[in-house]
């Protein structure tokens, strides 16, 4: 059964390029990203893992741990990482799960027979400190993901987890937010001392509350 938003992220134990991990213990009390790759030594994946390494500090600033998974074995991963570092001018600095028995891929429904018979699609799971799934994305094997968008989404998820706001289209850190409809105007005055602008009764903007 496919995983849905709000479901608990399934726990697992797996070998990675940085040793054996228990997923939930490894996450600790922070956020996490689990993202899959169809196969080692493939061109699009090489660019993705390289770019993620370059912006890993941005995720660290947000208390987000990064974990990649591919169905190839550990020795293949290690050789591939050398290629990634060489071709993408980076240092891969996060673990890559070896999943040759497809245990993790099956737990997270990453095998889509209509797309790829024996390889994972490009799935992304953002997991909160409560071990619940906060966001899922699925791309075909032919399309590289936008990791800058993942940073934007995490900024929104972390903001809206703590304040009664939502983020509008194309929102970026520091921009105005939308007050959720469940908050009435009187409550909004207390919650948002910077004030708010009412466009429609259901559409009220306020400055980002944690800035």
Tens-level pLDDT at each residue, the chain (211 residues):
688 999 999 999 999 999 999 999 999 999 999 999 878 888 999 999 999 999 999 999 999 999 999 988 999 999 999 999 999 999 999 999 999 988 998 899 887 555 455 555 689 999 999 999 999 998 887 889 999 999 999 999 999 999 999 999 999 999 999 999 999 999 999 999 999 999 999 999 999 999 8
The confidence score (pLDDT) of residue 1 equals: 66
Burial class of residue 52 in the structure, from the number of CB atoms within 10 Å of its CB (0-12 exposed, 13-18 middle, 19+ buried):
buried
Question: What is the reported pLDDT for 113?
Answer: 56
Of the candidates 150, 148, 182, which has an alpha carbon nearest to the alpha carbon of residue 163? 182
pLDDT at position 90 is 97
Fold of 163-206: Antioxidant, Horf6; Chain A, domain 2 (3.30.1020)
Residue 29: per-residue pLDDT? 95
Rounded distance between C-alpha atoms, residue 126 and residue 124, angstroms: 7
Which residue intervals of the chain bear CATH 3.30.1020.10?
Answer: 163-206
pLDDT in the model for residue 177: 98
Confirm if 130 and 157 have CB atoms less than 8 A apart: no
Cβ-in-10-Å burial (0-12, 13-18, 19+) of 195 comes to exposed
Specify the pLDDT at position 51: 97
Cite the residue boundaries of each domain of the chain with CATH code 3.40.30.10: 13-145
Say which CATH superfamily domain 13-145 falls into. Glutaredoxin (3.40.30.10)
Q: What is the CA radius of gyration of the chain?
A: 19
| Distance (Å, whole) CA 155 – CA 135 | 12
The residue count for the chain: 211
- Tell me what pLDDT residue 112 has: 59
pLDDT score for 83: 96
Ranges of beta strands (E only) in the chain are 13-16, 19-22, 31-37, 64-70, 96-98, 122-127, 133-139, 165-166, 177-179, 197-200, 203-206
Catalytically active residues are 45
Instruction: Please name which of 121, 104, 128, 131 lies closest in space to residue 45, comparing C-alpha atoms.
Output: 121
């Amino acid at each position: 059964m496919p995983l849905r938003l709000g479901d608990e992220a399934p726990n697992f134990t797996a070998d990675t390029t940085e040793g054996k991990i228990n997923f939930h213990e490894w996450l600790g009390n922070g956020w996490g990203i689990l993202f899959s790759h169809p196969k080692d030594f493939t061109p699009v994946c090489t660019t993705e893992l390289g770019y993620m390494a370059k912006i890993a500090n941005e995720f660290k600033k947000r208390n987000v741990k990064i974990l990649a998974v591919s169905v190839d074995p550990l020795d293949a991963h290690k050789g591939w990482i050398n290629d990634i570092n060489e071709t993408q001018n980076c240092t891969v600095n996060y673990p890559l799960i070896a999943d040759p028995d497809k245990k993790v891929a099956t737990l997270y429904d990453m095998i889509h027979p209509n797309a790829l018979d024996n390889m994972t699609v490009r799935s992304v799971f953002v997991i909160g400190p409560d071990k619940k799934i906060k966001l899922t994305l699925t791309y075909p094997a032919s399309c590289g993901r936008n990791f800058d968008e993942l940073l934007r989404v995490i900024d929104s998820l972390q903001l809206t987890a703590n304040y009664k706001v939502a983020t509008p289209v194309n929102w970026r850190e520091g921009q105005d937010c939308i007050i959720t409809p469940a908050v009435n105007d009187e409550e909004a005055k207390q919650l948002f001392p910077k004030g708010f602008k009412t466009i429609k009764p259901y559409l009220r903007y306020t400055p980002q509350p944690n800035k």
